[in-house]
């Protein structure tokens, strides 16, 4: 029997609740597919600061790099907003990504037919939407130097090197080859020199993928086109800050941010997490939607472990749960047969895992 070592970082807010449900589903599918998980918990975020004085203890980095994959919940909350910036949970997360070298953030936005009425857009606009946003994760304005502030001025620098652009572009083109073979690269090359370099380098890399169609779009137009005609997109390739914004916009095509997973991958390790935050206002109430985290666990099975059959089983169980009318409270108004707690939805999905 194969054994996989998974680092669990539950984090803050609803993080522990949603990770527990993903583990429940992972254990169910592992028992059917003849492999086993060994879980090792690690701290990051506000809870890590409270215990160790550091939002990212070195032990967490070490454990993560020694595992086969990392399953991560969410971090942050108002409790820690007044800390010095370097002590805030979000600073720990940025440092975590950099330390692990996870430079490519993969965020699928897929509209479930069962929840087509959950979107604010008309069904004919969103039916069949299946987008993969490929966001560069450890460069750009969030990491560029110089940066700083005075009482009168604040500044950040958007920086990309050729090598950083090349490696994320290859990710996007390789993913597109397994999909509909279309990449739309998003930039602001009409204004920003860094975006012109991005556009030039992506175009150069595209020559290695003659089977993939490449187009370019300015980020402001892309934001509009996502709402106007989202089905025109297959793979959207973009930098850190633009990808941060556009992937959240794409998520709302699907009706709830509680549905969508993500993967952050690099040369050494992958981190799998829901795209939503820690939602401290609902933590501990048993009403959080764990589906995004369970779907992230499916991405972990598929991309990190190569357990494609197991990933397909999890995806099918999620879809069956939704088609049978089981909903958490955030989706209760959309054809709900039964409104379920966080734990109940996790159990239903786990029980729908089939041979």
Residue of 200, 220, 268, 281 marked catalytic: 220
Residue of 4, 103, 142, 272 marked catalytic: 142
Residue of 244, 313, 326, 330 marked catalytic: 244
248 part of the active site: yes
How far apart are the C-alpha atoms of 19 and 294, rounded to whole Å?
Answer: 8
Q: Dihedral sign, CA of 122, 126, 252, 233? A: negative
244 part of the active site: yes
Sheet with 261-265, strands from edge to edge, namely 35-41, 2-11, 69-74, 270-274, 261-265, 104-110, 130-136, 235-238, 182-187, 213-218
Work out the angle between the directed axes of helices 193-206 and 162-177 (0-180°, nearest 10): 50
Residue of 248, 312, 315, 335 marked catalytic: 248
What number of other Cβ atoms are within 10 A of residue 312's Cβ? 14
5 part of the active site: no
How far apart are the C-alpha atoms of 195 and 173, rounded to whole Å?
Answer: 18
* Closest residue by Cα to residue 109 from 96, 91, 82, 128: 128
- The DSSP code for 302 is I
Q: CA dist 95 to 65, 92, 218, 259, 287, Å? A: 14, 5, 29, 26, 30
Q: Dihedral sign, CA of 295, 310, 181, 121? A: negative
**What 3-state DSSP class applies to 4?**
strand
Phi, psi of 69 (to 5 degrees): -170, 165
Residue of 24, 63, 188, 313 marked catalytic: 188
How far apart are the C-alpha atoms of 80 and 288, rounded to whole Å?
Answer: 21
How far apart are the C-alpha atoms of 105 and 103, rounded to whole Å?
Answer: 7
Token pair recorded at residue 19: 């990770």
Contact 181, 211 (CB under 8 A): yes
- Give residues with Cβ within 8 angstroms of 323, minimum separation 6: 114
Active site residues: 142, 188, 220, 244, 248
């Amino acid at each position: 029997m194969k054994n996989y070592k998974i680092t669990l970082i539950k984090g803050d807010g609803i993080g522990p609740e949603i990770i527990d449900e993903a583990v429940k589903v992972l254990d169910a599918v592992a028992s059917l597919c003849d492999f086993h998980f060994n879980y090792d918990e690690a701290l990051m975020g506000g809870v890590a600061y409270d215990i160790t004085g550091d939002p990212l203890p070195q032990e967490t980095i070490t454990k993560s790099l020694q595992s086969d994959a990392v399953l991560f919940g969410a971090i942050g909350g108002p409790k820690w907003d007044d800390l010095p910036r370097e002590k805030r949970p979000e600073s720990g997360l940025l440092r975590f990504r950099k330390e692990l070298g996870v430079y490519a953030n993969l965020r699928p936005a897929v509209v479930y037919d069962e929840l087509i009425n959950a979107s604010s857009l008309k069904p004919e606009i969103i039916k069949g939407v299946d987008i993969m946003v490929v966001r560069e994760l450890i460069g750009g304005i969030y990491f560029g130097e110089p940066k700083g502030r005075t009482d009168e001025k604040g500044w950040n620098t958007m920086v990309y090197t050729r090598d950083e652009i090349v490696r994320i572009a290859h990710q996007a083109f390789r993913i597109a080859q397994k999909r509909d073979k279309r990449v739309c690269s998003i930039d602001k090359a009409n204004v920003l020199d860094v975006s012109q370099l991005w556009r030039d380098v992506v175009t150069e890399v595209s020559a290695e993928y003659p089977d993939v169609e490449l187009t370019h779009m300015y980020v402001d137009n892309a934001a509009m086109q996502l709402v106007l005609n989202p089905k025109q997109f297959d793979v959207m390739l973009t930098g850190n800050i633009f990808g941060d914004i556009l992937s959240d916009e794409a998520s709302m095509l699907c009706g709830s941010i509680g549905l969508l997973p993500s993967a952050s991958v690099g040369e050494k390790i992958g981190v799998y997490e829901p795209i939503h935050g820690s939602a401290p206002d609902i933590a501990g109430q048993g009403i959080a939607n764990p589906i995004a985290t369970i779907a992230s666990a499916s991405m972990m099975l598929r991309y990190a472990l190569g357990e494609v059959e197991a990933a397909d089983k999890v995806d099918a169980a999620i879809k069956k749960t939704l088609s049978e009318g089981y909903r958490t409270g955030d989706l209760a108004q959309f054809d709900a047969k039964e409104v379920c707690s966080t734990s109940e939805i996790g159990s239903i999905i786990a029980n729908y895992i089939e041979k």
